Every structure is written in structure tokens, then in C-alpha cells.
Chains A and B, each alone.
Chain A
Amino acid sequence: GAGVSQSPRYKVAKRGQDVALRCDPISGHVSLFWYQQALGQGPEFLTYFQNEAQLDKSGLPSDRFFAERPEGSVSTLKIQRTQQEDSAVYLCASSRKGLAGGVETQYFGPGTRLLVL
């Protein structure tokens, strides 16, 4: 079946430009996570959605980062006024159940590689 998809796969932005990164989770998955992965590092948590509700945004590095999932399926991560330190791979993951369902495997998309010049 179809996995998690992300678009664009690559994005080059000039410093100060706004970008929007899209995530299509596995159909029917309740939970959606965004992670940021710097070169040579493991992914780091950014934010979590259960359906359309953003329950945890503790990992967002600044108020320039904003995420939404208005209909509980597709999610968009927006970065305003991009800076060079925002250059990274942005990964989206989804899992079938919400919090009440207990621990669930997170399935990752291929990521969007963002380069800010």
C-alpha cells in the first residue's frame, strides 16, 4: 500500500524566503509527527498532531515555524523568513492510532531536503 509521501523532495530557498512543506500520511492514520534531521544527526522532534489537533509543538525551534493539519489528513510545515540554520531534512511520520491506542509504529516519509542559501 501507499506509504507516507512528502513534497517537494528538494527545496532551495534564499534566506528570508517563506517555504511550505507538505506531508501526506498513510490513509486513516490518526497520529502525525514532524521531525528535523540535520546532516549526520538523528531526527529531532518538532511537533505532533492527533487528527487535526496539534497536541505538542514543543520541538518547534522558533515562532518562524508553523504547522497545520486542518482536516486531519494532509499536513503542512511552514517556515517563514528562512535562515541558513534551517537547512536540514524535514521528515514526516504517521502512526495508525492516537494516544489512547497505546504505542504504535511510526512510519516515515522520504523527507524534504531544504537548503537555504
Chain B
Amino acid sequence: GESVGLHLPTLSVQEGDNSIINCAYSNSASDYFIWYKQESGKGPQFIIDIRSNMDKRQGQRVTVLLNKTVKHLSLQIAATQPGDSAVYFCAEKDAGGTSYGKLTFGQGTILTVHP
């Protein structure tokens, strides 16, 4: 596929707004999906996950929606705060027996929250 390079999608919101970050995945055999948050100079931090037998899962201030028909995943962040500013990655795991749990990451979205 096309390399995104430095041109990551960006989302800019005001503090207190709700944010929605989208991700399209390509592998219909994936059975587990995760959202990670990555701040500058740090490793990815787990936010929330969802298995393929579910279409919605809620956490604290976050909700993940999974639409397997169109292979789409979204992360909703309620009442976004400046500390939520980071790059957000979706990741998927192939259900195949030889996948060994390895994750395939999407391209990432830069979220900027303005006070």
C-alpha cells in the first residue's frame, strides 16, 4: 500500500469536545483489535480493546466501535482533555494459527486538543 510517511491524518479539537478517530483495517481474518496512544518519545500505551464478536465496548471516557461489514474501527473520546493530545494507532491481530499474536498497526492519527 501507499506509504503515509510524515503525512499522518490529524484531528484538532477544543478541550471538552468529543473526539472520534477512525481506522480502516484490511484483514477480514482479524479477531482482536486494540487502540493505542503514543506520546512523543514514549512507547504505545494501551487504551482499549475489542474482540471480533463484539461491536461496541466502553471504558472510562472512551468507546470503541467495530463494524466488521465495512472493516472499520473507531475510537470515541468523551470530554477530550489536553492530556489526550498524542498519536493514536489502531492495531489488529490475525486469528490465524501462525500469527503468534503479532499486531498489525494502522497509520496513526495525530490528535491535538486546544485548551
Chain A residues near B (Cβ < 8 Å)? 4, 31, 33, 35, 39-45, 48, 50, 55-56, 59, 91, 93, 95, 99, 103-111
Contacts and interface: CB of A to CB of B under 8 A. Distances in A.
B103 interface: yes
Chain B interface main SS type: loop
B98 A41 contact: no
Interface residues of B, number: 31
B114 to A, nearest CB: 22
A44 B105 contact: yes
Q: Identify the 7 closest CB pairs spanning chains A and B, nearest first.
A: A42-B105, A108-B43, A40-B6, A45-B102, A56-B100, A48-B100, A108-B44
Interface of B: 3-8, 31-32, 34, 36, 41-46, 49, 51, 89, 91, 93, 98, 100-108
B102 A59 contact: yes
Contacts of A99: 100-101
Contacts of B44: 43, 91, 108
Contacts, number: 71
A82 B7 CA distance: 27
Given A44-B105, A106-B46, 14 more contacts: A40-B5, A40-B6, A40-B8, A41-B3, A41-B5, A41-B107, A42-B107, A56-B100, A91-B44, A99-B101, A103-B101, A105-B34, A106-B101, A110-B42
A43 B105 contact: yes
Contacts of B32: 103
A70 to B, nearest CB: 19
